[in-house]
Structures are given as structure tokens and as C-alpha cells.
């Protein structure tokens, strides 16, 4: 299993740049240390977190049809694979249809890639799994070296929604530039729906999403010697129905200073100043068509769950 991990200097400059910006932020990829990955698995099982159930339903009900569009021989590269629980459903369909494929999960969380690799090798004997640990922005450069078979990229779980529309477009254009004509991209995207349903998915009753958000601060303490006091920060998600974005933040409930011992930085917070931690974009069909058109893909087919909450949209590089 190959690893391209961020250097300490890259991490320091990214985190400190975020926390010293006029609008403080921490990039959302820092959610996923071991604790964060486990918390995310818990989130996927919450009654409020409809996204994972909807995508699993799509794969159960339409997976056979969906994988028939992949052709016979290809390599699956999954960006931000996580625990791969939904991907396993598609792998079963592919094996049933005797497809010739390798599976390459890419994730920034080393534990996630390790666990997924051993789980899939046990669950699907004979399947070739070749995991990569690292930032998918860096891993995209490796795509060309993967061989001559058609590539089918998976980007599931509305992962794309963690980018702003502008960054999504840049990312999709970047992916497109690394593919060859006829390669495929399968995106899982969360759709606009009743705002209350959306907001609850990011603010569940048990407080698991709250813990997931606050774990960012715990991680800064554990790994970078910071002294955040989680009890002085408020988990505050809200949904903007005008632009379709859930914005999650951690709001400092007082004036305070946080020190990073490892790096020697002090970060000052005014009372009620927020750290922006994540966006989760919700889409409609016009936005999806726009992204495909502008990034050099054609939409082959869309697959929905029975509630029309979520879409898996299969794109082909033009």
C-alpha cells in the first residue's frame, strides 16, 4: 500500500494559515484522524443522516444496471473511500457480472485504507485491492501510472459537497485532465430537499456530529500540542436554503487564546468568533448539469433513491 503523507511543514502552514485568516477555518480533511473516521462511521448509522442510506438503496436497487455501464475491463479508483460500506454493494454486482477489475481506494486516513483493504480482501477473495493513503489532490497525479484499462473513478457520499462550487469545478476539471476519453466518473451527490431534513443530518439528537466537529480541536491538541478547550466552543451548523449550503462552524463562546506548543503559535479569538470547519453543498439538476458541462464530462445516467434525496450520477469524459 502506497502512502503520500503531508509533511509536518505542510500541515503546520495549512493549519496556521487557516487559523490566522480574517475568517478562521480548518480544512475539513483534518476531521479524519482515527477518532474522526470512527465518528463518521457512527454518523452514517444515525437516523438523521439519510445520505448513506439513500446511496446504499440506489446501489442495491440500481447497482446491476449501473455497473453494466462500466464495460467489461476497468480499474476502480475511489477517492475518499472511507469504510467502503456502500462500495461493497457495487463490488458484489461487479463480481456477479464477471467484470475484470482492480479496486484502488484512496483516503487521507491511513487506518481507513488499511481496514478497508483487509476487509475487502477477506469479503471478496480474489479481488485485487491496492490502497493508497494520502490527499486525493496529490494522488490524482498517479492516475496515469495505473495502466491502460478504462478508469472508473468513484467519488461517493457527497464528498464533492465539501468543496465550494468554484473549488468543485476546479477539482472536476483537474480530474478530467488526468483521464482519457471514455473514462468514467461516478459521483454521489446530495440533493436539495426540505431544509429541516438537511439541517438535522448535521445536528443530530445524540450529538455525534457535534463530537465529530469538536474532535477537530481535540486532534489539534493531540497531534500539534494545542490547548483548545472544547467546552469553550459551540458546534453550530446552519443551512442556507438560498445557496444550498450547510455551513458548519465552531464558535468561541468567549475571548480566549489558544497556544500551539509544537509550532510556537498563539491564536486569539474574540468572543463569538467562529472557526469555519465544513461546507456540505446540496445540488439540483441544473447545478449538476452545469458542473458536468464546464468540466468536460457528459452525463450518461442518473440514479435516484425512492425519496429523491440523493443522486448517483455517472459521467463520461468527452
Determine which residue in the list 101, 103, 136, 309 makes contact with ligand SAM, applying CB under 6 A.
136
For residue 106, what are the contacts with CB-CB under 8 A and spacing of at least 6? 77, 78, 79, 80, 81, 113, 131, 132, 133, 134, 136, 139
C-beta of 154: minimal distance to ligand SAM in Å?
Answer: 8
- Counting other chains too, the contacts that 139-142 makes at CB distance below 8 Å and 24 or more residues apart are 139/4, 139/79, 139/106, 140/174, 140/175, 140/178, 141/178, 142/2
**Shortest-Cβ-distance residue relative to ligand SAM:** 157
C-beta of 229: minimal distance to ligand SAM in Å?
Answer: 26
C-beta of 66: minimal distance to ligand SAM in Å?
Answer: 15
Q: Which stretch binds ligand SAM (CB under 6 A): 29-37, 171-179, 242-250, 297-305?
A: 29-37
For residue 53, state whether it binds ligand SAM (rule: CB under 6 A).
no
Radius of gyration in angstroms for the set of CA atoms belonging to the chain, rounded to a whole number:
20
The angle, 0 to 180 degrees and rounded to 10, between the axes of the packed helices 285-294 and 165-178 is 40
Q: Which stretch binds ligand SAM (CB under 6 A): 13-21, 94-102, 155-163, 267-275?
A: 155-163
For residue 258, state whether it binds ligand SAM (rule: CB under 6 A).
no
For residue 67, what are the contacts with CB-CB under 8 A and spacing of at least 6? 90, 93, 94, 97, 99
Q: Which residue, 114, 134, 118, 122, is CA-closest to 11?
A: 134
For residue 168, state whether it binds ligand SAM (rule: CB under 6 A).
no
For residue 157, state whether it binds ligand SAM (rule: CB under 6 A).
yes
For residue 159, state whether it binds ligand SAM (rule: CB under 6 A).
yes
Which residues in 88-107 contact ligand SAM (CB under 6 A)? Answer: 107
Determine which residue in the list 19, 109, 274, 275 makes contact with ligand SAM, applying CB under 6 A.
109
Amino acid at each position: 500500500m502506497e502512502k503520500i503523507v503531508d509533511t509536518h511543514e505542510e500541515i503546520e502552514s495549512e493549519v496556521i494559515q487557516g487559523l490566522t485568516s480574517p475568517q478562521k477555518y480548518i480544512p475539513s480533511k483534518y476531521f479524519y484522524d482515527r477518532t474522526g473516521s470512527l465518528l463518521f462511521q457512527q454518523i452514517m448509522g444515525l437516523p438523521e443522516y439519510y445520505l448513506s442510506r439513500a446511496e446504499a438503496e440506489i446501489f442495491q436497487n440500481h447497482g446491476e444496471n449501473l455497473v453494466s455501464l462500466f464495460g467489461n475491463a476497468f480499474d476502480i479508483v475511489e477517492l475518499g473511500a472511507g469504510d467502503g460500506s456502500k462500495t461493497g454493494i457495487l463490488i458484489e454486482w461487479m463480481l456477479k457480472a464477471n467484470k475484470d477489475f482492480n479496486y484502488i481506494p484512496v483516503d487521507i486516513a491511513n487506518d481507513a485504507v488499511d481496514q478497508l483493504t483487509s476487509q475487502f480482501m477477506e469479503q471478496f477473495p480474489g479481488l485485487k485491492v491496492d490502497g493508497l493513503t494520502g490527499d486525493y489532490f496529490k494522488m490524482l497525479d498517479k492516475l496515469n501510472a495505473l495502466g491502460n484499462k478504462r478508469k472508473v473513478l468513484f467519488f461517493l457520499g457527497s464528498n464533492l459537497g465539501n468543496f465550494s462550487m468554484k473549488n468543485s469545478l476546479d477539482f472536476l476539471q483537474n480530474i478530467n485532465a488526468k483521464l482519457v476519453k471514455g473514462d468514467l466518473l461516478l459521483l454521489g451527490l446530495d440533493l436539495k430537499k426540505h431544509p429541516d431534513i438537511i439541517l438535522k443530518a448535521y445536528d443530530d439528537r445524540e450529538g455525534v456530529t457535534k463530537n465529530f466537529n469538536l474532535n477537530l480541536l481535540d486532534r489539534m491538541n493531540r497531534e500539534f500540542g494545542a490547548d483548545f478547550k472544547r467546552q469553550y466552543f459551540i458546534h453550530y451548523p446552519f443551512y442556507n436554503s438560498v445557496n444550498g449550503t450547510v455551513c458548519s462552524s465552531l464558535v468561541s463562546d468567549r475571548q480566549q487564546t489558544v497556544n500551539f506548543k509544537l509550532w510556537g503559535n498563539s491564536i486569539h479569538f474574540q468572543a463569538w468568533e467562529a472557526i469555519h470547519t465544513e461546507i456540505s453543498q446540496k445540488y439540483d439538476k441544473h447545478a449538476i448539469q452545469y458542473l458536468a458541462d464546464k468540466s468536460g464530462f457528459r452525463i450518461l445516467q442518473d440514479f435516484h433513491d425512492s425519496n429523491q434525496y440523493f443522486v448517483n450520477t455517472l459521467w463520461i469524459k468527452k
